[in-house]
A and B are shown apart, each in its own frame.
Chain A
Amino acid sequence: MVSEKVIFDLLEGVFDPEVPVLTIVDLGIVRSVQYHEKQLIIEITPTYIGCPAMQTIEKDIESKLKSNGIQKFEIKTSIAPAWTTDWMSEKGKQKLKEYGIAPPQEELDKSVLFGEPLVVPCPKCNAKETKMVSQFGSTACKAHYQCKACQEPFDYFKCLR
């Protein structure tokens, strides 16, 4: 029986199809790897409810494990507790920034309709003078920003909690 740690390490090698610098472990998509009565169960959770990458992620996990000789396992999708950007690892946030995507920032409670404008530093030049172009970006988890200093448009990984 392959240990849970070994499986987890293998999953560290499965990348998110939409943000290919992050592994599914960095993103916090892998919730648990456990044996239940000798049956290996891998529990994953979607970032956003309608995330179309989930099916690809399942297939990628399958091929990763099978190519490493692990044939018997089950992948379960759970939605509760709901995914939050707090589950993203620090290493993951750093990798995002290097890739050109601004990592999630501390945000105010959205129950306040119009709170203080959020400061999202530019991932390229670190300037704090940036503006939101659109609340929605290239994928469900991102918003679209532009830097006022270097003019570079960039994606911001939205804070979700």
Chain B
Amino acid sequence: MTKKEALYQYLLRMGDDSLILGQRLSELCGHGPILEEDIATTNISLDLIGQATLLLEYAGELAAEPKTNDELAFLRIEKHYANTLLVEQPNGNFGDTMMRQFLFDAYRKPLLEHLMQSVDKRLAGIAEKALKETKYHLRHSSEWVIRLGDGTQESHSKVQASLESLYRYAHELFFENEVDEILLNEGIIPAAKTLFPLWEKTVTEVFEMATMSLPKNNWKFQGGREGRHSEHMGFLLAEMQYMQRTYPNMEW
């Protein structure tokens, strides 16, 4: 694998995480539990789709046959998406949505902070821009996890159940293979072993404040990074790709 191929794959991972989570959050537009949260989740969705635009644009230029970011976003088949299983999980109840967001934000923030030091200046620029917004996302999702966990008995048991069902997907955020090895040696990306303790610190602190406990089992599911997705992904793509599939090459 060449450096260019590795970077293409890495940008797809980041871009797809942003795109798919952004798509999930956009489903809440007009359906948020309260007006302020309806606005908050769609704002975060917009930021994530903005990040995906830049990341997939860069990826498209590196592809073996150059592609636009729209082609990458809307015209790939399921097994060519490289997002983690975590971000494609359904919105569920509000606790599920916030827990999914929190586990992701707690990983994204230190990742972007390290990418700002990347020798790849274009990726460093995207990271600098995205970091500012991601700090707001993390603050928002942390506050909700604490409020729900340390809230009523019912909110506590619901959000604890969200953690039980989503935690098994979190470790895939630190998936590494040949792609990472190549880029790490080039000084383009940070190592998972650098990021994991930072993520762990954030989640431990927040769960402590939220009076929550980590699941006792040690289940770790993965597959998304290599294109093996959960059953939810197909339905998400069917909705997201509908317009481009039905009216090929349509533009706004």
A contacts, CB < 8 Å to B: 46, 48-52, 79-84, 110-111, 113, 133-138, 140, 144, 158, 160-161
Contact = CB atoms under 8 A, between A and B. Distances in A.
Contacts of B132: 82, 84, 160-161
Interface of B: 36-37, 39-40, 43-44, 46-51, 53-54, 121, 124-126, 128-130, 132-133, 135-136, 138-140, 142-143, 202, 205-206
25 contacts: A46-B50, A48-B46, A48-B47, A48-B50, A49-B47, A49-B50, A49-B133, A50-B47, A50-B48, A50-B53, A51-B50, A52-B46, A79-B128, A82-B132, A113-B139, A113-B142, A113-B206, A133-B36, A134-B37, A134-B39, A135-B136, A140-B43, A140-B46, A144-B36, A161-B132
Given A79-B54, A135-B140, A140-B43, A50 B49 contact: yes
Contact of A138 (B39, B124, B128, B143): B39
Contacts of B130: 49
B31 to A, nearest CB: 16
A46 B125 CA distance: 13
B46 to A, nearest CB: 4
Given A80-B128, A82-B129, A161-B132, A136 B36 contact: yes
Contact of A79 (B40, B47, B48, B125): B125
Contacts of A144: 36, 39
A50 B40 contact: no
A59 B152 CA distance: 51
Contacts of B139: 110, 113, 135
- Which of B44, B121, B136 is most buried by chain A, counting CB atoms within 10 A of its CB? B136
Contacts of B136: 110, 135-136, 158
A80 B118 CA distance: 14
Nearest to A111: B135
A48 to B, nearest CB: 6
B195 to A, nearest CB: 15
Nearest to A78: B125
B135 A50 contact: no
Contacts of B47: 48-50, 140
A134 B48 contact: no
A83 B136 CA distance: 15
Given A136-B44, A137-B39, A82 B54 contact: no
B238 to A, nearest CB: 23
Q: Which 7 A-B pairs have the closest CB atoms?
A: A50-B50, A80-B125, A49-B50, A134-B36, A136-B40, A110-B135, A50-B46
Given A50-B47, A79-B54, A135 B40 contact: yes
A113 B129 contact: no
B134 to A, nearest CB: 10
B54 A49 contact: yes
A79 B121 CA distance: 11
Contacts of B143: 135
A158 B132 CA distance: 11
- Which of A136, A137, A138, A144 is most buried by chain B, counting CB atoms within 10 A of its CB? A136
A79 B36 contact: no
A52 B78 CA distance: 28
A22 B140 CA distance: 28
